[in-house]
Amino acid sequence: MNYRNAFMAMLIRDLRIAFRQRAEIMLPVIFFVVVVSLFPLAISPDPAVLKTIGPGVIWVAALLSVLMSLQNLFRSDFDDGAIEQILLSPYPGALLVLARVLAQWCVTGLPLILISPLLGLLLHLDFHIIKVLFVSLLLGVPYLSMVGAIGVALTVGLRQAGALLSLLVLPLYVPVLIFGSNAVVSAAKDMSYNGQLLWLSALLVIATTLGPFVISSALKVSCSYR
């Protein structure tokens, strides 16, 4: 089996496992929708107010939803010893964990991105603003998944890892949150937003290039202290 086939086999395996747990993969999406929907009720239904706070609300809700979905990313494989088999396979560990993160993004991150235009309409955002919101999330959510996976790999061996995971990854999420929400705000003010989108693209390239190697190394460290 070549590297491409190994990657696809890992991706298909993880997608099958994820779709067997439909309730679990739907929780982050439901959380995303509920959090955004509560803001018009809690603050004000005034369209002017919602247009102002909308970009930040959607981005924060997406960030928290991704963080929620990552809690058990490697937990089951770590508990049953599958992680050791993945790391000891003749294929690069970085390639296989990349397939795992991609599968997780497909079942949780992608639905968040696809549903964001509807939530933008709920918050009375204009069409051109929703378009920028969609593009910013398309660039930012994969970064959130990749960086979050690094934190999960470092804490997978701990029993109470949720709080520590948040402390590890939230500081790394701040730049994407700033650039993503600011791009949408700039679009709402008819200002240039290309710079923010370019920064998001650069961060995504860096995370996708280096992240799998860091995740693989972090999993090896976690397995060594089992």
Q: What is the per-residue pLDDT for 45?
A: 81
Q: What is the per-residue pLDDT for 226?
A: 61
DSSP-derived letter for residue 159 is S
Provide the token pair at 137. Answer: 């999330």
Q: What is the per-residue pLDDT for 131?
A: 93
Estimate to the nearest angstrom the gap between the alpha carbon of 36 and the chain centroid.
17
Instruction: Answer whether 0.85 is exceeded by the pTM.
Output: yes
For residues 152 and 218, give the distance between their C-alpha atoms in angstroms, rounded to a whole number: 9
226 occurs within a structural domain: no
Q: Residue 93 is part of which domain span?
A: 3-220
Q: What is the per-residue pLDDT for 70?
A: 84
Q: What is the per-residue pLDDT for 78?
A: 76
Asked if 78 and 157 count as a contact pair (C-beta separation under 8 A), the reply is yes
For residues 3 and 9, give the distance between their C-alpha atoms in angstroms, rounded to a whole number: 10
Asked if 180 and 197 count as a contact pair (C-beta separation under 8 A), the reply is no
Q: Which residue has the tokens 């959510």?
A: 141
Q: Torsions phi, psi of 125, nearest 5?
A: -80, 145
Asked if 153 and 222 count as a contact pair (C-beta separation under 8 A), the reply is yes
For residues 112 and 62, give the distance between their C-alpha atoms in angstroms, rounded to a whole number: 7
225 occurs within a structural domain: no
Provide the token pair at 95. Answer: 């390639």
Largest CA distance in the chain: 59
38 occurs within a structural domain: yes
User: What is the CA angle 69-204-17, rounded to 5?
Assistant: 35
**Positions of the chain with pLDDT lower than 50, given as ranges:** none
For residues 172 and 166, give the distance between their C-alpha atoms in angstroms, rounded to a whole number: 10
Q: What is the per-residue pLDDT for 190?
A: 86
Q: How many domains are contained in the chain?
A: 1
